[in-house]
């Protein structure tokens, strides 16, 4: 107790205390130092004071959460007029580790000099609502009260704001029927409240002052009157319209934030966004890095680049099509509309994502079906054309054939050279005769001389074979025209006839060469057509439909199918396995065949000649290892770049390796993606390596590399 308190003052405080101690609140009196002087029972209980002890052994200051706060309280009390009560001091006290929000109603006592020497306090517990009451105007929850006549008796500013009224006064006195979008529901609601007075989180449609509808989330309590069932209803409303849009809109909505490590994190998302990415609820996807849903780092960077580009132009990124993968790796085709939130320095972005996978799949399927049937007809036509070309070769070039379907081109070239020589000789003889007959200056003969000279100039190297045949034929056709002109001249018929016969022979030879080359080109392209048709016709791979099949004959099917292609490419396919082996795998035979076809086709297509002593070759091995089988396809030739292997971009749909266009090699960029997909769906793996040889540097891609494709599949039990 403060030593200096005069006894009269103490008595005055005591009297005041005694007058109110019976009120049902904790009441105490204390001196200016904070010592308790008198406490009623509720105060002793509230502050957990030992009733056996004099209350003056306790100090109110020890109960303050922040002891310095008492100085503030005393300053406030200093300002209170003598004899008046101060009613608005709210403090947080700590009683036995429990925080309590308290409003003090206090009366200060002063000495003759006006110094505060004691006070009488009523400690009123406060609810959270009371505690935060000063923020009421900032709270977006609307409070309302409806009387027994279903008229708005009271409401707060937020209630008026939700319904677009200017102030609570404007809305008070309005019948509820004016505010309900569907007034017939009022009776139903009233009936429900009568039966069960507590309603929580009910969605209700209300009519705003401007006539628009607003959907609110309402909770209310029906309060019983003395005579009737429910006299009034008090409740809260919250505008839930955008919440509903966010929740029910079949579009993924998201907010992405950049964290302190520079990682773009999903900070908010709706349910649809979560579903697109393989999660049940939006909570599950929060805090996940957004990049994990992009197929690779390059794809994510491409998206960011486009977003930044659009932002630099003051635009949002609109209708950006991309592929994303859900948490299980399943691909989705989405269209995104995204923009950075202003003033956030690109650290916060919002967007909407549409999943167009099914839509796209439907369109793609139709296109694929249509295109595969066109391709099928096209292949049939090409096959017919190939047969006809083969027959023409047989009919007009039988003497030059190497076997049933191929021309001996070396022999054809030698024959052509001999024929050219004969043509030169025959023409020389004719020119001599023409000179004897005074026709040396005839323009047709001069033209023929020039044409024969050009014919002789042709480059005879093998890679000019096609050009030589094509150009030679054009020269010979021109030559033949000139021969027709000679008919009008006085020249012997026999040499002219011999010349014409030689021209026809040369035309036959060059045509056979061109036909043979074209047939090779056609044979080179046909596997592409077949593969592409089969790819377009593929169905979904359903594991239940997989059957045990020996993998060896499936692989051999592909080898045999590509024999002609390998022959044209002059690549040998070396099989280093026992063709009678039986290694069962659970598979979809056609799909696995397509994958093998693809990988082997690539190995042949991208092979280089290893030197003059031996033509290029592709090695195929099969090795059974416990419960798996490993198939190795190895070739030597066009490299695959290290970064393409590391990023696995070669397995992306439509992506071709940077070196793959080497020497005009065509391709679609689908093969490896498809093969990888098929093998993965068979529970296997596809691994590719590409390494330099002969000590060449790893980044020197102008040199040939050894490329190895490892296919691992589980062996069927």
Give contact residues for another protein (rule: CB under 8 A).
302, 466-467, 470-471, 474-475, 478, 521, 654-655, 658, 661, 664, 702
Residue ranges of alpha helices (H) inside 107-147 are: 128-131
Residue 577 is encoded by which pair of tokens?
């396995």
Nearer to another protein, 475 or 499 (CB): 475
Shortest approach of another protein to residue 288 CB, angstroms?
A: 27
Rounded-to-integer distance, Cα 233 and Cα 194, Å: 10
**Shortest distance, position 474 Cβ to another protein, whole Å:** 5
If the CB atoms of residues 221 and 299 are measured against another protein, the closer one turns out to be 299
Q: Closest CB to another protein among 246 and 602?
A: 602
Write down the least CB distance from residue 663 to another protein, Å: 10
Which residue, 39 or 324, has its beta carbon nearer to another protein? 324
Terminal-residue alpha carbon distance, the chain: 92
CB of 379 to another protein, least distance (A): 18
For every residue of 322-349, DSSP letters joined together read EEEE-TT--EEEEEEEEEEPTTSTTSEE
Cα–Cα distance between 714 and 185 in angstroms, integer? 64
- Yes or no: say if 94 and 39 are a contact pair by the CB < 8 Å rule: no
Q: Give the integer Cα–Cα distance in Å for 496 and 482.
A: 11
In the bound state with another protein, the residue whose beta carbon lies nearer, of 150 and 485, is: 485
* Residue 357 CB neighbour total at 10 angstroms: 16
The smaller minimum CB distance to another protein, of residues 31 and 465, is found at 465
- φ/ψ (deg, to 5) at 353: -125, 130
What's the per-residue H, E or C state across 542-585? CHHHCEEEEHHHHHHHHHHHCHHHHHHHCCEEEEECCCCCCCEE
Beta pairing, strands 572-576 & 617-625 = parallel
- Closest separation between CB of residue 657 and another protein, Å? 12
Q: Rank residues 442 and 465 by Cβ distance to another protein and give the closer one.
A: 465
- How far apart are CB 568 and another protein at their closest, in Å? 13
Cβ neighbors of 428 (< 8 A, separation 6 or more) are none
* Nearer of residues 149 and 702 to another protein, judged by Cβ: 702
Query: Residue 392 CB, nearest distance to another protein (Å)?
Result: 17
CB of residue 453 to another protein, shortest distance in Å: 14
Give me the least distance between CB of 666 and another protein, in Å please.
Answer: 9
* C-alpha span between 80 and 607 (Å, rounded): 99
Half-sphere exposure of 72 (CA within 13 A, CB side): 11
Rounded to 5°, angle at Cα 197 from 195 and 198: 125
Nearer to another protein, 182 or 521 (CB): 521
């Amino acid at each position: 107790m403060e030593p200096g308190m005069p006894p009269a003052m103490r008595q005055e405080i005591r009297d005041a205390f005694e007058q109110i101690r019976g009120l049902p609140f904790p009441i105490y009196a204390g001196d200016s130092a904070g010592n308790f002087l008198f406490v009623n029972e509720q105060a002793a209980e509230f502050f957990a004071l030992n009733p056996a002890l004099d209350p003056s052994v306790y100090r109110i200051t020890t109960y303050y959460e922040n002891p310095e706060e008492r100085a503030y309280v005393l300053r406030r009390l200093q300002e209170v007029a003598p004899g008046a009560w101060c009613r608005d001091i709210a403090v947080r006290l700590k009683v036995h580790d429990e925080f309590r929000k308290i409003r003090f109603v206090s009366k200060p006592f002063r000495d003759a000099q006006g110094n505060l020497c004691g006070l009488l306090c009523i400690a009123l517990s406060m609810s959270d609502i009371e505690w935060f009451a000063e923020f009421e105007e900032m709270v977006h929850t609307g409070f309302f009260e409806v009387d027994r006549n279903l008229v708005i008796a009271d409401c707060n500013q937020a209630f008026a704001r939700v319904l677009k009224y200017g102030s609570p006064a404007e809305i008070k006195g309005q019948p509820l029927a004016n505010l309900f979008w569907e007034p017939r529901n009022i009776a139903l609601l009233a009936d429900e409240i009568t039966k069960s007075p507590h309603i929580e989180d009910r969605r209700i449609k209300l009519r705003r002052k401007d006539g628009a509808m607003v959907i609110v989330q309402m909770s209310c309590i029906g309060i019983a009157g003395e005579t009737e069932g429910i006299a009034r209803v008090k409740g809260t409303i919250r505008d839930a319209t955008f919440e509903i849009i966010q929740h029910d809109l079949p579009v993924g909505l998201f907010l992405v934030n950049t964290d302190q490590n520079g990682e773009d994190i999903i900070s908010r998302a709706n349910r649809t966004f979560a579903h697109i990415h393989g999660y049940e609820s939006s909570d599950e996807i929060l805090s996940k890095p957004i990049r994990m849903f992009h197929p690779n780092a390059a794809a994510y960077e491409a998206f960011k680049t486009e977003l930044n580009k659009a932002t630099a132009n003051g635009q949002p990124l609109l209708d950006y099509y991309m592929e994303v993968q859900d948490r299980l790796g399943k691909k989705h085709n989405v269209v995104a509309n995204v923009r950075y939130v202003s003033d956030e320095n690109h650290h916060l972005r919002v967007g909407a994502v549409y999943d167009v996978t099914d839509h796209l799949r439907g369109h793609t399927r139709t296109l694929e079906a249509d295109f595969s049937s066109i391709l099928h007809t096209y292949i049939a036509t090409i096959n017919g054309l190939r047969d006809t070309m083969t027959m023409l070769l047989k009919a007009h070039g039988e003497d030059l054939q190497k076997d049933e379907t191929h021309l001996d081109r070396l022999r054809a070239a030698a024959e052509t050279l001999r024929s050219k020589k004969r043509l030169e000789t025959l023409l020389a003889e004719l020119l001599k005769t023409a000179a004897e007959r005074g026709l040396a200056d005839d323009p047709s003969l001069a033209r023929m001389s020039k044409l024969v000279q050009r014919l002789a100039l042709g480059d005879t190297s093998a890679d000019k074979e096609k050009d030589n045949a094509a150009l030679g034929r054009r020269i010979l056709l021109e030559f033949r025209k000139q021969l027709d002109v000679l008919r009008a001249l006085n020249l012997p018929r026999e040499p002219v006839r011999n010349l014409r016969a030689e021209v026809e022979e040369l035309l036959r030879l060059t045509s056979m060469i061109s036909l043979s080359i074209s047939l090779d080109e056609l044979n080179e392209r046909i596997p592409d057509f077949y593969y592409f048709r089969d790819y377009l016709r593929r169905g979904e791979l359903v594991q239940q439909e997989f059957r045990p099949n020996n993998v060896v004959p499936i692989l051999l099917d592909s080898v045999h199918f590509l024999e002609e292609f390998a022959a044209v490419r002059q690549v040998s396919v070396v099989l280093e396995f026992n063709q009678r082996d039986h290694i069962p795998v659970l598979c979809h035979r056609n799909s696995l065949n397509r994958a093998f076809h693809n990988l082997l086709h690539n190995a042949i297509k991208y092979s280089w000649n290893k030197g003059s002593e031996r033509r290029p070759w592709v090695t195929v091995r099969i090795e059974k290892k416990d419960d798996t089988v490993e198939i190795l396809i190895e070739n030597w030739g066009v490299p695959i770049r290290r970064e393409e292997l590391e990023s696995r971009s070669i397995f992306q749909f439509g992506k071709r390796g940077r070196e793959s266009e080497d020497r005009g090699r065509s391709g679609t960029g689908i093969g490896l993606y498809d093969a990888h997909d098929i093998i993965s769906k068979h529970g296997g793996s596809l691994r590719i390596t590409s390494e330099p040889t002969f000590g060449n540097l790893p980044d020197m891609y102008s040199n040939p590399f050894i490329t190895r494709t490892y296919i691992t599949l589980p062996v069927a039990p």
